Amino acid sequence: MSLMGNMWKPNILMPSSCHAQAVCRTFTRRCKKSLSDDPSLLSILKKSTRSFLKKQDFVVHIARNKKLMIACKKMIVVVNKFKQNLAKHRRNLIMCVAMAFTFDWFKERICVDELIKLRQEFEVVKKLKKQFTSKNNLQIEKGACNTQQVVSSMDDKNVSKTESIQKKYDCSFNSCDCSRCRNMNEDGWEPFTSGSYYNVWKKLNVDYPNQNLYIYKVHGSFDDVTALDYMQVQLDINYRKEWDGMSVDLDIFDSEPLTHSDLIYWELRWPKWFQNRDYVFKRRYKIDEDEKLMLIVCQSIEHPNFPENKNKWRVKNYWSYIVIKPHKDFDKPGVEFSITYFDDPGVTVSNYLTSWYQSKGMPSFLNDQRLAALELKKRRIEQNNNLMSDKSNIETMLDQPKAQTSWMSWIFGYFLF
């Protein structure tokens, strides 16, 4: 009893499991010396100490699990608070996430210089028409070319003051060496097709010298179409779905009204043995009242909202420049236009399709644009007539003598006024 008392009295309250294990070990060492003569009691003592140590390890494991459970509960509380904060500010969060995937108009919009350079488009067209007025002019000698250059230089001296001031500040196609200006200047064009009211030229694209990809320039004039109507035919996408049967899908999915800029998706119908072509491009237009010009620029882009589709061929290289000029004024009949465009369709166009485009495709497309502009004029006149008829009906209804009113209504009017 003295041994047991000396061992357990100072350790009645064990501060930790590790301390308890140490006490058990010292207890067994001392008991081995005193119980060395009795092996049965010694084995029982060993088993009891082992079971006690296992129980202490189990207690430690439970304590650790309790700490983990407490930590998990705290994490759940933190996550719930975070969810509540997200719910409070979900609108701002959605706007921030949306801004990360929207189109950066400041960096990606079409530059104003692209529109300003188009002011000299009709000067390029005049030079091309002088060079290709007839079939005989296609076989010009060098001397005749020199004389034409002299004549063109004399014509350039007679430019108006506004055009001369414009040339001082604007970069011309001939002075700039970028690929865009080299594609747009008057060098390298050859006649493609022509009609009574239009001429078409083609030119190899400088960016694709060995791929036989051509740029096309269309110059035409309509005497019975106003510049405003023709401009609306080019810009109004909902109306184009009516008159252009080749457009399968055509939508504006983003815009910047301050700069007259849009992002457009366009699916174009091709023959049955080809895939339809689709385009994602940006567009910007400008109306120059000083020069009396309407300018439209389109360029292909990539946008995450419109990835490539396996069933369609995405045209990644596309651009077009449209210049519209009225004969007199924007709202009076008579318009002159120039359309320069390029796209890579992804296939080599056969001679049959080229001849069809020359003879039927281009004339029918230009005629469809003319008829669409005339239809706009017709609808506008009908709308004005309907408004005039409604106004006249209202006036006649007011002028007609009213039927005899009852005495109650007369008294009400008398006391009211």
Q: What is the pLDDT of residues 31-49, one digit of tens each?
A: 555 555 666 666 766 666 6
- The whole-number average pLDDT for the span 195-203 is 92
- In the predicted model, what is the mean pLDDT of residues 355-370? 84
Residue 208 tokens, joined: 């694709």
**Which element (helix H / strand E) includes 55?**
helix 39-88
- Determine the Cα–Cα distance for residues 392 and 204; give it in Å rounded to an integer: 60
Segments in 222-305 forming alpha helices (H): 227-235, 237-243
Please report which confidence band the pLDDT of residue 396 belongs to, taking 50, 70 and 90 as the band edges: low
Tokens of 382: 């009908």
Read off the pLDDT of each residue in 62-77 and give the average, rounded to a whole number.
72
- Residue 344, classed as helix, strand or coil, is coil
* 116 three-state secondary structure: helix
pLDDT at 271: 81
| pLDDT tier at 415, thresholds 50, 70, 90 | very low
pLDDT at position 113 is: 87
Percent of the chain, pLDDT > 90?
35
Residue 221's pLDDT band, with cuts at 50, 70 and 90, is very high
pTM above 0.75, yes or no: no
Q: Is the pLDDT of residue 341 over 60?
A: yes
**Residues 256, 104: Cα–Cα separation, whole Å:** 11
pLDDT at 105: 82
- The label of the residue with tokens 């409070």 reads 88
Tokens of 168: 């001082």
Give CA torsion, residues 60, 62, 63, 65, to 10 deg: 130
Beta bridge partners of 338: 219, 323
Q: What is the pLDDT of residue 85?
A: 76
Whole-number Å distance between alpha carbons of 216 and 199: 10
Rounded-to-5 percentages of helix, strand, coil across the chain: 55, 20, 25
Give 341's strand partners: 216, 320
Q: Write the burial class of residue 154 (CB in 10 Å: 0-12 exposed, 13-18 middle, 19+ buried).
A: exposed
Comparing 24 with 329, which gets the higher pLDDT?
329
| 177 band by pLDDT with thresholds 50, 70 and 90 | low
Residue written as token pair 């108009």: 105
Query: How far apart are the C-alpha atoms of 263 and 79, rounded to whole Å?
Result: 40
Q: Which residues pair with 200 in a beta bridge?
A: 193, 218
Contact 219, 337 (CB under 8 A): yes
Give φ, ψ of 166 to 5 degrees.
-65, -40
Q: Are 227 and 326 in contact (CB under 8 A)?
A: yes
Return the minimum-mean-pLDDT range out of 31-35, 205-209, 369-373, 379-383: 31-35
Query: Cα(118)–Cα(116) distance, rounded to whole angstroms?
Result: 5
Q: Crossing angle of helices 142-157/121-131, nearest 10°?
A: 150
Phi, psi of 264 (to 5 degrees): -130, 140
Note the Cα 415 to chain centre separation in Å.
Answer: 65
Residue 311 has pLDDT above 60, yes or no: yes
Nearest in space to 114 (alpha carbons), one of 76, 193, 170, 196: 170
Residue with tokens 């990360």: 100
The pair of structure tokens assigned to 171 is 């970069």
pLDDT of residue 234: 94
pLDDT at 138: 47
368 vs 99 pLDDT, higher one:
368
- Rounded Cα gap, residues 279 and 277, in angstroms: 7
Is the predicted pLDDT of residue 372 greater than 50, yes or no? yes
pLDDT at 395: 54
- Neighbouring residues of 36: CB distance < 8 A, sequence distance ≥ 6: 42
| Integer Cα distance of 198 and 221 in angstroms | 7
Give pLDDT tens digits for 262-289.
999 999 988 888 889 999 999 999 999 9
Q: Name the one residue in this structure whose structure tokens are 């269309």.
A: 218
The C-alpha atoms of residue 39 and residue 20 are separated, in whole angstroms, by 25
What pLDDT band is residue 403 in, cutting at 50, 70 and 90? very low
